[in-house]
Each structure stands twice: as C-alpha cells, then as structure tokens.
Amino acid sequence: MNDGPLAGIRVIDAATLAAGPLVATWLGEHGAEVIKVEQPEGGDPLRQWGVQRDGVGLMWKSLGRNKKCATLNLRHEAGRDLLRDLARAADVVIMNLRPSTLRKWGLDYASFAVVNPKLVMAHITGYGAGGPKSDRPGFGTLGEAMSGFAHLTGSPDRPPTLPSFMLADGVAALNATYAVMMALYHRDVHGAAGQLIDINLIEPLARLLEQPVLTYDQLGTIPGRTGNRWDISAPRNTYLTKDGHWLAMSGSAPTIAMRALRAVGRPDLTTDPKFAETQQRLENAAEIDAIMAEWIGEHTLDDAMAVFEEAEVAAAPVYNAEQLLADPQLQARGVFPSVPDSQLGSMRVQGPVPQFSATPGRVRHLGPRIGEHNEEIYGGLLGLSADRRRQLHEQGVI
C-alpha cells in the first residue's frame, strides 16, 4: 500500500527514455501509484541505456523505482483501447509520442478527456506541439544545443560542450513534475477539469540560461564561452591543488569574495577598488583568478579546504562518484540508501529529493522486470479474464 502526500493518485507512465519516466519516478517517490506501460519486446529503451551489470540496466533500476510494470503494444488498436481504459481509471497520463501520432492513434488529450474529463496529461516532446518542428524527433542532446547551453559551456578556444548526463531531460522533467502538481491542485482545489501540459526539451533549459537572451536583447551582444569562469562572479573557477585535486570556488556575494582574498593572504586587495567593488572586480576577474590559482596551487586540497572553511569561503572539492558517496555530510543525511533488489542483490541509489519532515519520500523497490505486474494491472485493475489476457498476449498486445 502506497503512502505519502500523493497516495491515491494514479499515474500512467506511457513515455520512453528519460524526461517522461522521470516525472513518474518523482511522483511515485511521494506516494503516487505509477503504472509503467512499455513494449512487450524489449520494454522502454531506457532498460538498455548506459551501463549494464549482468544484462541489467543500472539507470533503469533507479528510474523504474516504485513502478508497476505492464506490457502494452500501442501499435495495435487493442493496445490503444487498453491505454484508454487505464486512462479512465487514472489521474495523470504521461506521453512523449509525436503530436501527429497521438492524433492518428486517438491518444491525444481531447480523446482522453472524452473518457476521463478529470485527467491531467503531460506531453513531453523534443520541440513541443505547434510550430514547424513539432513533429520532428527530439532528444536531450538537441535541447542542450538549441537552448544555448552548449554555446556557453567549455573554453573559449574549444568547441561547444555537451553534458555527459541527461541535463535537458532532467530540467524538462522537473518542470513537468511541478506542472502536474499545479494541474492537480487546480483540479482538486478549484473543482476544475483536467488539462494538457505541453513541455519540450528546449524551453525549460533555456529559461535557466536566460541571461544571454537579456544581454542580446538589451545590449546587442552575444555572450560566449568563458570556461569555468562566469561574468557575474569573481573569483569563480576550478583550481588545481598541489596534490593534483581540483577545488571549486564561488565569490558570488561580495562579502565571500573579500573573505577569499583575506584567506589567501591578500587583505590589501579588499580596499583596492579593482577588487573591492563588484563591477570592477568582474572587469579584473582574470587577475583575481590568477591570485587564487597561485595560492591554491601551493597547497594540498585538505590544507586549502581547512583554510577556506575556517574563513567561511564558498569552496568545495570537485568530487568523483566515490568521493560523493563518502562525503560525511551526505552520509549523515542518508542521501544514498542501499535498496534490496531481486536481480542485483542491492544497489545504492540517490534517495528522494527534497526531504520532507512529515511525509518523506520512499524508495520501495527498484525497477521491476518487463511485464512483472501484468496480472495485477490487467486482471485486477481492468478485470480482464485469464482467457482474454492470454489472447492479448498471443496477439502481441501485452
């Protein structure tokens, strides 16, 4: 039995790969019942995505947490009928098929609303509905390129840099998750109908990168790549320590920048207008950067961090995965619990974010096998007989 603030909410996760399934994952952590429907052969491509152990996809195990898995082939009309039946009994449906495919298959929001006017549908695509590109296939990489992220990321003399993780998908999923919650609030508190949420992989990330748009609109200039520096903060970079580690620092607040200068033995610069005044400090960022790099390069990571922590400077080591798991702050907060699993024995995953005092999120189990809950979903929820389920299986529908 699910508990948590979303207990009683049923979500149909009919999306594939990252953004849509992530929305369902986060809702499921906080009590929603999530039914994952995927192709009978192979399931969600997410199962084969990234690193495997003994043929088991590790990303799937994490993103499939808390979900009930049922197979469903939407290429069959009988499969689409079953999805409509599930939607009739659901609060939320998450889809990522192209808009034209939804209309052709009768799985668009208007069709769902006929059988369930209270349904909230999150439709996440590469480009969003409407416009000349709405039906093109889109993936996170394209969102990271078109949003402006890649243009700003990397060194000035090097190519634009793409992230090695699902950034655009993750940012879109976060937007979609809070959008679902707002739509449910509007429905349940104001007595309204459900609605369609249209999200693409470009706009949510572009919103976080809005400053270049504002700069171009008002000043006519196009910001470029600055490596790990940022033109709104100095010092701000990664610095190599004497023992070969990297340390990151942020001087976003003027008081922090002044503390950093004092910590590296340059209190004289705190009264120099070139460094004490914010705009002047930004204009002389290269000089202050060199001062920090020289001092940090003469100290080990532990020694440098001891000085910065004593001086309350905003600095942190650049962690790899091993160091992240070993961090005492994160250990004290229980960020990476070890979850038992029938296929892997157990696996450490990151727990729910954020942490609630009264209704904490839970990882009840990791990603199930393909079709593990077919009997519960089709026999229990939809009430299909064993003969009908067997027939649908033989036809390749489930």
| Catalytic positions | 169
- The residues that bridge with 70 in the sheet, in sequence order, are 37
Task: Cite the DSSP H helix spans in the chain.
Answer: 19-29, 58-63, 77-88, 99-105, 109-115, 140-146, 149-152, 167-190, 203-208, 210-219, 254-263, 273-276, 278-283, 285-297, 301-310, 321-326, 328-332, 374, 386-394
The 3-class SS string of 273-303 reads HHHHCHHHHHHCHHHHHHHHHHHHHCCCHHH
Which contiguous run of DSSP H or E holds residue 34? strand 33-38
CB 180 within 8 A of CB 27: yes
Give the orientation angle of helix 285-297 with respect to helix 254-263, to 10 degrees: 40
DSSP 165: S
Rg (the chain; Cα; Å): 25
Q: φ, ψ for residue 150 (rounded to 5)? A: -65, -35
Q: φ, ψ for residue 304 (rounded to 5)? A: -65, -45
The SS3 assignment for 309 reads helix
Q: How many Cα atoms within 13 Å fall on the side-chain side of residue 351?
A: 18
CB 61 within 8 A of CB 341: yes
The Cα–Cα gap between 332 and 322 comes to 16
DSSP codes, 73-84 = -TTSHHHHHHHH
The Cα–Cα gap between 285 and 257 comes to 11
CB 390 within 8 A of CB 398: no
The Cα–Cα gap between 223 and 200 comes to 24
Give me 128's structure tokens.
């969003």
Q: φ, ψ for residue 10 (rounded to 5)? A: -110, 130
The Cα–Cα gap between 349 and 364 comes to 12
